Amino acid sequence: MLAVEIDLHVPSARSLKDKRQALRPVLDRLRARLPVSVAETGGQDSWQVAALTVAIAASSAQVAEEVGDEVERTVWSRPDLEVTSVRRTWAELD
């Protein structure tokens, strides 16, 4: 399983509601188009800071990497969000 953690800055947000309105289209798009689970995992109480974690379970590492690449492209394509960092972590299942 691959986890992709994305830290974001939402410069246009002036409230938590503004931030959620900016994040909602990204979360919905990822859930609708890709075989992933995604959640806001950080910055819930900050107006302009957010962290998303995307979990990818795939039949092979190559497929997981390709899905991870598409996740990043989707988030980077949003002009209203600034990506501040991206981390990928592999989880080994016993």
Q: Under DSSP, is residue 29 helix (H, G, I), strand (E, B) or coil?
A: helix
Q: Under DSSP, is residue 67 helix (H, G, I), strand (E, B) or coil?
A: helix
φ and ψ at residue 58, rounded to 5 degrees: -140, 165
pLDDT in tens, the chain (94 residues): 999 999 999 999 999 999 999 999 999 999 999 999 999 999 999 999 999 999 999 999 999 999 999 999 999 999 999 999 999 999 876 6
> pLDDT at position 94, please?
62
CB 4 within 8 A of CB 87: yes
> pLDDT at position 92, please?
78
